[in-house]
Every structure is written in C-alpha cells, then in structure tokens.
Amino acid sequence: MNIKGKTALVSGGASGLGAATVRMLVAQGAKAVIADVNDNAGSKLAQELGSAVAFVKTDVTQSDQVRAAVAEAGSKFGGLHIAVAAAGIGVAEKLLGKEGMHDLQRYLRVIQVNLIGSFDLIRQAANLMSRNAPDEDGGRGVVVTTASVAAFDGQIGQVAYSASKGGIVAMTLPLARELSRFGIRIVTIAPGIFDTPLLGALPEPARLSLAEQVPYPKRLGQPREYAALVQHIIENNMLNGETIRLDGAIRMAPK
C-alpha cells in the first residue's frame, strides 16, 4: 500500500512508539488521527504537525471513545486505510509476592488495555476499512498491532503483561485469515527494549544495564526504528499474518 494520500489512526499516538509512527506517516504524506488518553501530549503533537493530524482523546478501554476516534478519521479525512495499535501499559508484580497474591484488578486492567483495547480498535477500524475501494492489489487496509518479546520470553513479574502481549500474537494469524476476504492485512511487531517514556524514568545505570543485554546493537531501540518497520509493513503487501520481533536478538532472562 502506498502511504501517500492515505488516512491512518494510531492509538497511543501521543508519545513513544506511537508518536514516532505518527511523524513517519505524516512525513510520507498521510493524514493521521492520534488516539491517546494523554490530552496534553496529544494536543501538542497535533498542533506541531498541523492540518494533516487530528487528536481525539481516547481511552482504549472505552469502546465509545474508540468508536469516536475511528469516526473522526472517516468524517475529517474521508476514510481509514491504516490502523496502528500502540497503546499499552505494564505492571511488575509476582503471582505470589511479599505482599501476597497478584492483585486481580491490576491483572484485568493490563489485559483490558493491551489486549481487549487492541482488539476493539482492530474490529472498529476493519469495519470502516472494509468499505474502501480496493487498490490494484485488492487491498483495502493495513493493521499493525504491538506485542512484545515478553510474549515469548516474559520475565518473572511480567505475567499480566506477557499474557496480554501473547494474546495479541495469538490473534494475529486468525484475524489475517478472516480479513483477507476484505483485502485487509494485519501484522504484529514485538519490540524488545525500546527507549520510550516508560523507560525514561529509570536511572541511567539501569538503562545502561538493559542496553548491555542486547546482543547487537548494544543500546535501547529507538522509536523511529519501530516506525520504520511500520512503514515497511504498510508498503509490503506480502507481509501478512506474521509477528516480527524487533529486538536486536535479545532473549530475556528469567529475571
């Protein structure tokens, strides 16, 4: 799919991986809807990028807010061709820790945001994409979801996060098979350790320690590298139903 002239929606688009993706899409000639719960960051990015971008405050656990963001793409920019699910949260908590059992509500919250929030965006975005006129390859849309290497080698204390990201990986192929009749592709990216706001709060020694765990290159991943893979996925029609690790060959230790 040619990005130029298309409309995209990016959940979690106000910062980190999502913001880098929004910048890439606009640079490639697309219009973009930023769907993010962070009002200040979302509005600031939209103001910076100008008329090619709209911000819709969106909590992905609220289906009516996801619906409003998808509808904004249709009403403001005339349709939706690309959806990137980059909204996510994490929690570090053992199943049986010093404070007792893993809090069930915190577990449910991670699943709700990461897995169910991604699924809701996919279903609502695909519904709008299915109405697009097909391109020369029969394509009507592309969906990119965000998992994590924790889906494959999650560490102790990552049970909720790993479960949520593993669910995203597991639904990629069946969704690709189902949506193929509409000409809609879906591909998942599983990032390793990336320099996002989540890691930005860590002290420098901790950041350096994480970087040393990456075989090559020995550094944290950059959000622009995630965005570059999103671009390639959109532009390469043969990428479909797959999860791609973007991790510098890291395999996480148990803890």
- Return the active site residues: 161
Report, in angstroms and rounded to the nearest whole number, the Rg of the chain calculated over CA atoms.
Answer: 18
Of 198, 182, 91, 106, residue with least CA distance to 140? 182
CA 89, CA 163: separation in Å to the nearest integer?
A: 12
Kindly write down the DSSP assignment for every residue of the chain, as one continuous string.
Answer: ---TT-EEEEETTTSHHHHHHHHHHHHTT-EEEEEES-HHHHHHHHHHHGGGEEEEE--TT-HHHHHHHHHHHHHHHS---EEEE---------SEETTEEPPHHHHHHHIIIIIIHHHHHHHHHHHHHTTSPP-TTS--EEEEEE--THHHHPPTT-HHHHHHHHHHHHHHHHHHHHHGGGTEEEEEEEE-SB-SHHHHTS-HHHHHHHHHTSSSS-SPBPHHHHHHHHHHHHH-TT--S-EEEESTT------
Say which amino acid occupies 135: D
Sole residue written with tokens 């619906």: 67
Q: Say if residues 86 and 107 touch (Cβ distance below 8 Å).
A: no
